[in-house]
Each structure stands twice: as C-alpha cells, then as structure tokens.
C-alpha cells in the first residue's frame, strides 16, 4: 500500500536501513537471508528468492514448526540452512 511504502521510506531515512519493494530485490546478493514470515508462507517465499541468493548465502528461518528439510527442498539447490 502507499501508506506502508511511505512509512517504510520514512523509517529507512530515519535509521539508515535499506528499503526494498520486493523480497527478490531485498534478497539479491545477500550474505544472509532471514526468513521471518508465517510458516504457511515459507515455501512460496523461498521460491521467490532462491534464484537471487548467491551460493555462499546462509538461510536462516524463524518460522515456527518449519523443518530445515522443507526449506532445503524449496531452495532446490544446496545452501546452508539454519
């Protein structure tokens, strides 16, 4: 939404944090990818970003009840997953 985009931009300016408009944009070239989405959204989120994650990227998940094996399967390539 426009409000969320405006709020995110203001927060980024205030804190110096980066602000992205998509998960793919945020994950491009990441050293670490933190998956902080609802458990039901993990597989779809991983499929969105897997092609832009470098081979050396560490994938971290804080989604309750999601097994490492499920994330590895969604990645479709070997990346370290915690």
Query: What is the pTM assigned to this prediction?
Result: 0.79
Average pLDDT over residues 32-40: 94
Percent of the chain at pLDDT exceeding 90: 66
38-72 tens-digit pLDDT: 999 999 999 999 999 999 999 999 999 999 999 99
Q: How far is CA 5 from the centre of its chain?
A: 18
Q: Give me the pLDDT at residue 68, please.
A: 95
Q: Does residue 78 register a pLDDT over 50? A: yes
Whether residue 8 contacts residue 19, with contact meaning beta carbons closer than 8 Å, is answered with yes
Alpha carbons 63 and 14: distance in angstroms, whole number: 28
pLDDT surpasses 60 at 2: no
């Amino acid at each position: 939404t426009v409000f969320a985009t405006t709020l995110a931009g203001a927060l980024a300016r205030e804190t110096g944090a980066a602000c992205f408009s998509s998960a793919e944009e945020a994950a491009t070239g990441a050293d670490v990818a933190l998956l902080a989405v609802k458990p039901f959204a993990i597989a779809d989120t991983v499929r969105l970003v897997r092609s832009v994650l470098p081979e050396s990227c560490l994938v971290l998940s804080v989604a309750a009840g999601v097994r490492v094996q499920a994330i590895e399967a969604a990645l479709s390539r070997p990346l370290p997953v915690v």
